[in-house]
Amino acid sequence: MCEEVGDGPRDLVKLTYDKLSTEEVSEAVTCPSCGAISIFIGTTRNNFQGKKVLRLEYEAYEPMAQSELRKIYGDIRRRWPTVRHICVHHRLGVVPVTEASVIIAVSSPHREDALQAVHYCIDTLKASVPIWKKVGTQNKRYFQLGGYGKSEIYDTDECCWKQNKECEWA
């Protein structure tokens, strides 16, 4: 048990427009008595529904996102009591392809609880935290010029709001 003075269990949440740092999230949950830190990083994929993704753009109902995340933390601590520190950083605004939109880290003395808690955290975040992402995709058409092969035309980019399958009202 980690009983150092001033080092109680930490429940950390950050919503930011800045680029996320895995190192920062990992350091936030590091604890001398914990042998495991489990980290999940969600990144922007370059494809969505068969189209090329140009960007994701996130918005949040920030105070409620904070309170819903803290409810998830309460669930985690009840189900996996050995969990020590929990940290979620979620990016808002535009997130370019391959960059992280969410990083979740959990520390525990042994790896099983941290691994399961992180899995639970991302699944429940997708179902219950009021954050939305708009997916900007490229609409590409082709036309044939005589016998000279295909040329590409780029229409105006499309945007649509994604819906998580985990969300009950999707």
Sites of contact with other proteins (CB under 8 A): 42, 58-61, 63-65, 67, 90, 101-102, 122, 125-134, 161-164, 166-167, 169-170
- The least distance separating other proteins from the CB of residue 144, rounded to whole angstroms, comes to 36
DSSP 69: H
Residue 82 or 116 having the CB closest to other proteins: 116
Residue 2 or 127 having the CB closest to other proteins: 127
Q: 100 - beta bridge partners?
A: 43
Distance CA 131, CA 122 (A): 13
Strand, helix or coil at 14? strand
Residue 94 or 127 having the CB closest to other proteins: 127
Neighbours of 82 (CB within 10 A): 16
Distance CA 86, CA 117 (A): 9
Residue 31 or 55 having the CB closest to other proteins: 55
Residue 31 or 38 having the CB closest to other proteins: 38
Strand pairing class (150-154; 86-91): unpaired
- The least distance separating other proteins from the CB of residue 164, rounded to whole angstroms, comes to 5
- The least distance separating other proteins from the CB of residue 170, rounded to whole angstroms, comes to 4
- The least distance separating other proteins from the CB of residue 150, rounded to whole angstroms, comes to 34
Residue 44 burial by CB count (10 A; 0-12/13-18/19+): exposed, middle or buried? buried
- The least distance separating other proteins from the CB of residue 101, rounded to whole angstroms, comes to 7
